[in-house]
Amino acid sequence: MGKVCALIPLFLLLAMNAFAQSLTIDKLERNPIAQASKDVAFSALVEGTVSDPQLQVFVFVFQPQLGGWRPYLATTDYIPEGNGQYRWRAICQFGELNGKGVGATYQIRAMVFNQATVHAGLSAAAVDHALKTEVVVLKRVK
């Protein structure tokens, strides 16, 4: 009985890792993010992976001329890649089409939310507790 009790924490740890969510940004304009040029035009394709296709992925872009974050809803594939992750894609805009924002620096970050949170509205508390990627810094050049 003592051996079984000693294994319970191990099983709990394995179970928690099995249900852990993951989220990445891994491509910019179809190039791996590490090698991609961080110079963008008015719009750019941002891609990544998420562990659960039922979650809603949003890419937030900090717009310096607005002084705030603008959300872009991503579309997620329902067929997993070979590693069990699901690919998401979002087209994000940087500044305005008429050239406002050229030369500015933008920050992007992906976040995931469950359907109930999205329907209730993305409150500050929901954003604070969301699974997030690291911030990627881009510069608009055209």
Domains of the chain by residue range: 21-140
Residue 68: phi, psi to the nearest 5?
A: -160, 180
**How far, in Å, CA of 7 to CA of 95, rounded?**
55
Provide the pLDDT for residue 3.
Answer: 54
Structure tokens belonging to residue 123: 């409150």
Amino acid code (one letter) for 120: A
Structure tokens belonging to residue 57: 């992925």
Provide the pLDDT for residue 107.
Answer: 97
Structure tokens belonging to residue 65: 């001329």
- Parts of the chain with a pLDDT under 50: 4-5, 7, 9-18
**How far, in Å, CA of 93 to CA of 99, rounded?**
12
131: enclosing H helix or E strand: strand 131-132
Q: Tell which residue, 98, 122, 103, has the closest CA to residue 112.
A: 122
**How far, in Å, CA of 10 to CA of 73, rounded?**
38
Structure tokens belonging to residue 40: 């963008």
Tell the residue number behind the tokens 């963008």, with chain if given.
Answer: 40
Q: What is the pTM of this model?
A: 0.82
Provide the pLDDT for residue 1.
Answer: 52
Provide the pLDDT for residue 4.
Answer: 47
CATH architecture of 21-140: Sandwich (2.60)
